[in-house]
């Protein structure tokens, strides 16, 4: 199994630019989670999907952030426009219904907004 795949692994962009982060969950997993990790705030849940449907987006910082899951094997997290305070490592994780909520994390995307 390839595990959760995220791309790109590193992204450097300038303030105001649009950023799109991508995630491919483990095949057969029906829940997908987007997290953000910073030194100051730790690991924060941004949004999660069950069966491609967004269930809880209360962690999304503001309207500049949006996430989609058009099918069971792909999700995107978009930031438009990006700001320096968005600099963080963004993780995607997935799980199955029967895993007692054990989550499998991707390697993360390190985003730097200049």
Residues that bind other proteins (CB under 8 A): 4, 31, 33, 42-43, 45, 48, 50, 55-56, 91, 93, 100-108
Question: Which residue, 49 or 65, has its beta carbon nearer to other proteins?
Answer: 49
Rounded CA-CA distance 47/78 in Å is 12
Rounded CA-CA distance 55/31 in Å is 10
C-beta of 15: minimal distance to other proteins in Å? 25
C-beta of 81: minimal distance to other proteins in Å? 27
* Per-residue DSSP letter, 81: S
Q: Is 85 exposed, middle or buried (0-12, 13-18, 19+ CB in 10 A)?
A: exposed
Q: Can you read off the two tokens belonging to residue 96?
A: 């199955």
Question: Which residue, 65 or 91, has its beta carbon nearer to other proteins?
Answer: 91
C-beta of 72: minimal distance to other proteins in Å? 17
């Amino acid at each position: 199994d390839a595990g959760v795949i995220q791309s790109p692994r590193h992204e450097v962009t300038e303030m105001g630019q649009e950023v799109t982060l991508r995630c491919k969950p483990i095949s057969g997993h029906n829940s997908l989670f987007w997290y953000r990790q910073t030194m100051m705030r730790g690991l924060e849940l941004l949004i999660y999907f069950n069966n491609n449907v967004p269930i809880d987006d209360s962690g999304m910082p503001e309207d500049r952030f949006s996430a989609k899951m058009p099918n069971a094997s792909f999700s995107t997290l978009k930031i438009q426009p990006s700001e320096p305070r968005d600099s963080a490592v963004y993780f995607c994780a997935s799980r199955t219904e029967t895993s007692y909520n054990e989550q499998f994390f991707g390697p993360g995307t390190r985003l730097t907004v200049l």
